Every structure is written in C-alpha cells, then in structure tokens.
Amino acid sequence: MLDEKQNSGLNFHVSVDCVVFGFEFGKLNVLLLERKMLFKGVEFKDLKLPGDLVRKDEDLDTAAARVLKELTGLDNIYLRQFAAIGTPDRLYRMERDMEWLRQIGHPEEVVVTVAYYSLINIDQDKINRFELQEDVKWHPVSQIKELAFDHMEIFNDALKALRDELRFNPIGFELLPSKFTLSQLQKLYEVILGSTLDKRNFRKKVSNMPYVIPINEKEKGVSHKPAQYYIFSKKVYEKTRKSSLDFFV
C-alpha cells in the first residue's frame, strides 16, 4: 500500500528546466529560447525556458548542467534545484502549446519537471567562448510577462527562490565579474531584492565581511572619481562565517 509495489507500470517523462539569470548594466536578465511555429495558419512566436528530458543514465543535476553547457558552452556554473512540478496537464493547458508539441512530435504524456536556477557572470574573459545560438537571448526580468507552458510560474518561483537565497548566502558574486565595485554589488542587491539600500550602511556591512577584499586596481576611463575594485574570496568566506546562516538581510 505504501510501497513501490503498486502501479509499477506507471512511467513518466522527466525533464529539467533552467532559469538562467545574468546581471549586466544594472539589470537582471534571464536567458530564454524563442519558440516559433505555424499556429492557425500564421507564424507564432513566443518564449520558453531552456530545458531537456533527463537521460536514463544521468543524475538530475547532471542533466541541468548539460542543458546549461549546450546552451552557453559554460561549465561550472552555479546551479540550484528549487522545485519539482508534475501537474498532469502542465503542458496541455493552452492550444498553442499542444499544437507545438504536435509539430515536434512529442507524445501527449505527463512530464514531471525538475526546475533549477543558475547564475552566470558575464565576465570579460569568458565572453569569447560565450556565443549564443540565434534563438537564445537575454531578456530583462522586468519585461517577462508570458511564457510557454507553465514556465511563467516556474520563472516566478525561481525569482522568489533566488531572492530568498540571496539573503542568506553569498551568491550575488556569482552574477558579477570576478572583480567588481561596491556600487555594482549594491545595485545587484537592490535589483534582485526590489528595494533601495543606503550607500553608507551598505558599505559598512560589506566592510565587516572579510571575504570581500579590495584589490590594487581602480576603474579606468570613467568621467568621475574611479571606484575601487573588490574580489570575493570563497576561501575566506568558508573560514570566517560564524553560523551556517549569516550573511545579508
């Protein structure tokens, strides 16, 4: 009754979906795939989250990392699982979704999906290797209004999970280049948490974090007082954090 005895013929498809965040020019962006199709005789375009079916011989985390690698060419990206969704009709609520699945030959079956978000820093030296396919683009988070399937819900949940984690773990640095200014860091927190922060209080807090370290380098070519660059040291962080739950609020 409570065991894996029953229903042993019941098979599902399992997929991973990735909500890939990036931060540039003071904006939080998300990487989305354009979906094109012929719908009721006219061309129809919309956006969806990148994802793929999980293969039989791979872990869920591995599948998510593979999707990211195929999408961006990048390895070692910050990835966090934040939900599993298995509502039976989740892919079959909208006409256009059913039509699309028909066109790509997807059988009408339940797909349980495991959702991840990932954080990418669009660093100078990485940007070369970082060539996106034509149908994959960054979109400002604030402008996302609608996505395919239940991807809008997944996206909203990802944002919520990101905000929650940002308060208690030093993950903001994953979204910044390896050297960054304190203004960039502050802006990042403001944009993700959706509030403004006091500059002096912010810097006071950061100066109590021994793992945010000034380096011997300043901004160049800006028409104002150049800012000090800092780096984040994971090593120092691991060594100096007091409880498993300190960081920001």
Which one of residues 88, 140, 210, 214 is an interface residue with its own copies (CB under 8 A)?
88
Which one of residues 27, 44, 96, 106 is an interface residue with its own copies (CB under 8 A)?
106
181 contributes a contact to DNA by CB under 7 A: yes
Looking at 39-47, 56-64, 139-147, 175-183, which segment touches its own copies (CB under 8 A)? 56-64
- Least distance (Å) from DNA to the CB of residue 224? 3
Nearest to 108 by CA among 124, 128, 125, 88: 88
* Ramachandran region, residue 194 (left: φ > 0; alpha: ψ -120 to 50; beta: rest): left
225 binds, among its own copies, DNA, none (CB under 5 to 8 A by kind): DNA
Residues with Cβ < 8 Å from 204, sequence gap 6 or more? none
220 contributes a contact to DNA by CB under 7 A: yes
Separation of alpha carbons 141 and 159, rounded Å? 9
81 contributes a contact to its own copies by CB under 8 A: yes
Interior/surface letters 72-84, b for 16+ CB within 10 angstroms, e for the rest: bebeebbbbebbe
Token pair in block for residue 130: 């970082």
Which one of residues 126, 205, 231, 237 is an interface residue with DNA (CB under 7 A)?
205
Looking at 13-21, 197-205, 209-217, 227-235, which segment touches its own copies (CB under 8 A)? 13-21
Q: Which DSSP category does 143 fall into?
A: G
Nearer to its own copies, 167 or 205 (CB): 167
Nearest 10 degrees: Cα torsion 84, 88, 91, 92: -160
161 contributes a contact to DNA by CB under 7 A: no
Token pair in block for residue 101: 């699945």
> Half-sphere exposure of 11 toward its Cβ, with a 13 Å CA cutoff?
4
Residue ranges that bind its own copies, judged by CB under 8 A: 1-8, 10-15, 33, 50-60, 67, 70-71, 81, 83-88, 101, 104-107, 110-112, 114, 164, 167, 245, 249
Give residues in contact with DNA (CB under 7 A). Answer: 181-183, 198-201, 203-205, 218-228, 249
